[in-house]
C-alpha cells in the first residue's frame, strides 16, 4: 500500500524516456535522409543549379601553396554570366597583382594589368591566359569559371565522402580522384551547399598529399541582373595587345 504513489512517477519517467527517444529519432532523420543521396544525385543537382543560373557574384578567397611551402593569399571579386560564357575577376590579393582584372568572354581572355594600363588578349586554352595567377598543370591552365563540377571534373572519379552540418543546412563533401594517376593534381575535395546545390570550396591536392590550392566562394549572390556590358568593360584608354593565334 505504501508503494501505490510511485506508479504515476514511473509513468512520468516512461513518458519522458519516450519523448527523448522520439526527439533523438527526429534529430537523426534529417541526417539519414541526407546520406541517402548518392554522388550521382548530388552532381546532377549541382549541374541543374549551375545551368539555371542567370548570373552570380562572389568573393573568391583562399590560398595557393607552392611545393617549397610559399603561400599566396587570394582575394578576388568574381562576377559570372553563364548564359554568355562570361566572367570577370577583379584581384584584391595577391598584392603583386592587385587591381588587375581578367575577363573571360567565350573563347577569349582579356587580361588587364593596372600598372602598365594594358589589356593582353589570349585564347582561352592558352596557359598564359590567367596572367600567372594559377599554377600551370601538365596540360596547361584552363581559363574557365563554372559551378558545374561534373563537367569540370569529367576526367575524375567522384565519391561522396561526408555530409557536414553547415550554417544554412547540409554540406555535401565530394572527392574527385583523377583517373590519370600521373597528373599533377590527383584529388579535388569539393564542399557543396544543399541550400542551393552550388559549391562553396574546392581543395586541390597533389599525389604526395600536398595541398596545391584552396578556393572558397564567399558572399555568393545569385541572379542579380548583372549587365553583361559592365562585366565585359575594361578601361577605354588601355593599350590592347592581341596574343591570340
Q: Could you please report the per-residue DSSP string of 178-191?
A: ES-TTSSEEEEEEE
- The reply to whether 43 falls in a domain is no
- The reply to whether 129 falls in a domain is yes
Element containing residue 214 per DSSP (H, E): strand 211-222
Give me the pLDDT at residue 124, please: 84
Average pLDDT for 187-194 = 96
Number of H helices, E strands in the chain: 4, 12
Neighbours of 104 (CB within 10 A): 23
Q: Does the pTM of the predicted model rise above 0.85?
A: no
Give me the pLDDT at residue 7, please: 52
User: What CATH code is carried by the domain that includes residue 127?
Assistant: 2.50.20.10
- Which of 22-26, 30-34, 194-198 shows the highest mean pLDDT? 194-198
Sign of CA dihedral 27, 29, 31, 34: negative
- The reply to whether 12 falls in a domain is no
The domain total for the chain is 1
Segments forming the whole domain that contains residue 183: 56-242
DSSP H helical ranges for the chain? 6-35, 39-52, 149-152, 228-232
DSSP H helical ranges for 69-136? none
Give me the pLDDT at residue 168, please: 80
- The reply to whether 17 falls in a domain is no
Query: Cell 580522384 belongs to which residue?
Result: 177
- The reply to whether 111 falls in a domain is yes
Lowest mean pLDDT segment, chosen from 60-64, 183-187, 238-242: 183-187
Q: How many Å apart are CA 170 and CA 45, to the nearest integer?
A: 14
| For residue 132, pLDDT beyond 60 | no
Lowest mean pLDDT segment, chosen from 19-28, 96-105, 115-124: 19-28
- The reply to whether 37 falls in a domain is no
Banded model confidence at residue 25, pLDDT cuts 50, 70, 90: very low
Amino acid at each position: 500500500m505504501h508503494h501505490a504513489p510511485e506508479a504515476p512517477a514511473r509513468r512520468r519517467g516512461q513518458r519522458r524516456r519516450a519523448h527523448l527517444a522520439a526527439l533523438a529519432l527526429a534529430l537523426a532523420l534529417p541526417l539519414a535522409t541526407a546520406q541517402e543521396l548518392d554522388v550521382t544525385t548530388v552532381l546532377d543537382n549541382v549541374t541543374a543549379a549551375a545551368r539555371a543560373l542567370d548570373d552570380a557574384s562572389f568573393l573568391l578567397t583562399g590560398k595557393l601553396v607552392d611545393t617549397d611551402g610559399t603561400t599566396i593569399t587570394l582575394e578576388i571579386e568574381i562576377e559570372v554570366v553563364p548564359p554568355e560564357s562570361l566572367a570577370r575577376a577583379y584581384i584584391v590579393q595577391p598584392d603583386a597583382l592587385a587591381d588587375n582584372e581578367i575577363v573571360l568572354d567565350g573563347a577569349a581572355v582579356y587580361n588587364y594589368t593596372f600598372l602598365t594600363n594594358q589589356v593582353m588578349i589570349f585564347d582561352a586554352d592558352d596557359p598564359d591566359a590567367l596572367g600567372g595567377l594559377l599554377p600551370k598543370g601538365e596540360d596547361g591552365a584552363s581559363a574557365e569559371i563554372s559551378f558545374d563540377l561534373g563537367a569540370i571534373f569529367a576526367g575524375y572519379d567522384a565519391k561522396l565522402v561526408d555530409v557536414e552540418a553547415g550554417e544554412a543546412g547540409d554540406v555535401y563533401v565530394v572527392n574527385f580522384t583523377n583517373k590519370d594517376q600521373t597528373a599533377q593534381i590527383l584529388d579535388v575535395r569539393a564542399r557543396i551547399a544543399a541550400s542551393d546545390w552550388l559549391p562553396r570550396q574546392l581543395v586541390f591536392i597533389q599525389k604526395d598529399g600536398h595541398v596545391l590550392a584552396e578556393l572558397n566562394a564567399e558572399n555568393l549572390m545569385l541572379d542579380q541582373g548583372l549587365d553583361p556590358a559592365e562585366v565585359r568593360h575594361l578601361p577605354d584608354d588601355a593599350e590592347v595587345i592581341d596574343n591570340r593565334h
